A and B are shown apart, each in its own frame.
Chain A
Amino acid sequence: MAANRAPIIASPVIRPIALDDAPDILEMWREFTAHLRSLGDETEFSFDEAAYRENGFGPYRAFDGIVAHVGNEPAGYLLFHFSYDIDRAMRLLYIIELWVRPAMRRHGIGRLLIAETSRLAAEFGAPRLVWCVHNANRPAFDFYASLGANHVTDYTWMYLLPDPG
């Protein structure tokens, strides 16, 4: 029974992000961070088009990504970079962000983004995807659990600001 599914006219198309996607990615990113804020995330959100262009396409590229469209409408995106697990001598693909617009949900776009990302990971020799979820983000946990993902429970993440100078 799919009575509550909105009709979707075209199939989703996934492709690598491009410079010109800046306004679309930023618009979707604002929706994502509004969602996080509503869950209690107090991060000072500060991504913008200049940061997208510089860090996604500049000389010290910090991330790569893919974007999903349905017809001409941007429907979701996934940003990532590569990482490494020394003990396992294993390349990892680290998902920085995944967002599917609420109006576009329940049509498999999240799964398509993950499937395309795992294809890219395999191409790069990375047999594992890793990411983190804000503890209050229940829809994200439900989605990832439906894929068969595992919680990493025996490690604690830490951070430190490098001393200026």
Chain B
Amino acid sequence: MAAAAEKIQPTIRPIAPDDAADVIAMSREFAEYLRALGDKAPLNFDAKAFREAGFGPKRAFDGIIAHVSRRPAGYLLFHIGYDVDRSLRLLYIIDLWVREEARRHGVGRALMADVARIAREFDAGELVWNVYDPNRLAFNFYESLGAERIRELTWMSIPVVKL
């Protein structure tokens, strides 16, 4: 049995305004990865948007960040939602990314475990998120956690300017 040279322990904590540069750098890697799979979404997220939407008066998201050996290793952004029919608070995961060099050390699972703890704190009974269809790695990861696909709903959107 070859023991791993060193047991790497990720540390997870809430995001802070000073994490802007690290989160933006990681969100760029994530966006480039999605782009390589064919995603065409424009990439406008920047430090200003991070500070304003994450820490401003009309806070749009919250998040947690993982470090391994004091280096940023991944992040997860979320907000709270609600399912009226089931009278159930939800936690929406907006983005989850673990840097390639930090993979296979349980960083993704540690981020998911911490966000599940936050969900329980908020009385949210379910985590929900969406996955870009060609993103096979993400499906494998989430399905390994026991996640299910929602097949009976179709998502729609419309720009406000069209209304």
Contact = CB atoms under 8 A, between A and B. Distances in A.
B123 to A, nearest CB: 7
A79 B60 contact: no
A135 B149 contact: no
A158 B53 contact: no
Contact of A55 (B82, B112, B139, B152): B82
Contacts of B60: 82-84, 91
A86 B152 contact: no
A6 interface: no
B159 A33 contact: no
B133 interface: yes
A127 B160 contact: yes
Interface in A124-142: 124-136, 141
A84 B158 CA distance: 14
Interface string A67-89: 00000000000010111111111
Contacts, number: 213
B130 A156 contact: yes
B86 A46 contact: yes
Contact of B129 (A44, A128, A144, A157): A157
Given A62-B81, A159-B128, A51 B152 contact: no
B49 A89 contact: yes
Interface string A136-165: 100001001001111110111111111111
Contact of A160 (B46, B131, B147): B147
Given A89-B53, A127-B161, 5 more contacts: A84-B77, A87-B42, A154-B133, A159-B127, A164-B120
Interface of A: 29, 33, 36, 41, 43-48, 51, 55, 60, 62-63, 79, 81-94, 96-97, 114-115, 118, 121-122, 124-136, 141, 144, 147-152, 154-165
Interface of B: 27, 31, 34, 39, 41-46, 49, 53, 58, 60-61, 77, 79-89, 91-92, 94-95, 112-113, 115-117, 119-120, 122-133, 139, 142, 145-150, 152-163
